[in-house]
Amino acid sequence: MAYRRTASVDARIERTREAILRAARRAVAEHGLSGVGMASVATDAGVSVGTVYRYFDHKTALLREVVDDVCSREIEVVAKLAATPTDPAERFVAAVDGFAGRAVASGRVAYAVIAEPAPAEVEATRVRHRRDLAAVFAAIIADGVAAGVFPEQDPDIAATAVVGAVSEVIVGPLAPAVRRPADVEVVLAQTIAIARRAVTGHLDPTPGGSR
């Protein structure tokens, strides 16, 4: 016995693992899930292909972890916003704002992990997270309906529609326009206004009665 893994090696290994994940996230951000190549991830992370395989069994395992990381973080943030003890309409707006704002800021990543189809195994993870995200919205909507401040509606369907609407606006055909920083605010404001009208039935930002 002349070798035992020591703290400094552990640290390096951890750093390498992070570097690989960071490179993979960057690749996803730039080319989408399907545009990630093991070779370029390796180069980008400053290691060899073989090393990537030492840390992740398959390409799929790597992608799964990227999706898992990004989604968990996003959903957690949105869920936190949705948990504030104000009335449903405000919570809903806060959640939409959080989701949309972060999606814009994150560039293509958000799209890739929320919307882009992927190999079966990754897809499963992705769908699970997407459902979780929609569930956050659905919970708020259900509250609002129960409290009688939102019009009668199916919370799951409404939540799904909201997720779709926001994703489309952020990553869809308008995306290039959204990149112009000056327009970001406008697009976000419009998107929130639309979602609010759809779900709360209120025309104005300030809730209270019916309109």
Partner DNA sequence: CGAAGAACTGAAGCTAGATTCATTTCTTGT
Partner DNA sequence: ACAAGAAATGAATCTAGCTTCAGTTCTTCG
Cβ–Cβ under 8 Å, residues 180 and 155 = no
Q: Which does 187 bind (CB under 5 to 8 A by kind): its own copies, DNA, none?
A: its own copies
Q: Could you tell me if residue 98 is left (phi over 0), alpha (psi between -120 and 50 degrees) or otherwise beta? A: alpha
Query: Is residue 24 a contact point for DNA (CB under 7 A)?
Result: no
Interface with DNA includes 181 (CB under 7 A)?
no
Spatial separation of the C-alpha atoms in residues 30 and 43, rounded to whole Å: 15
Instruction: For residue 42, give both structure tokens.
Output: 């390796």
> 9 and 39 in contact (C-beta within 8 Å)?
no
Distance from C-alpha of 45 to C-alpha of 168, rounded to nearest angstrom: 31
Interaction partner, residue 164 (its own copies, DNA, none; CB < 5-8 Å by kind): its own copies
Q: State the amino acid at position 191 in one-letter form.
A: T
Stretch of 43-51, 78-86, 177-185, 194-202 contacting DNA, by CB under 7 A: 43-51
In this structure, the chain runs to a length of 211
154 binds, among DNA, its own copies, none (CB under 5 to 8 A by kind): its own copies
Of 73, 80, 180, 197, which lies in the binding site for its own copies, with binding defined by CB under 8 A? 197
Q: Using CB under 8 A, list all residues that contact its own copies.
A: 32, 34, 115-117, 127, 130-131, 134, 151, 153-154, 156-158, 160-169, 172-174, 186-187, 190-191, 193-195, 197-199, 201, 203, 210-211
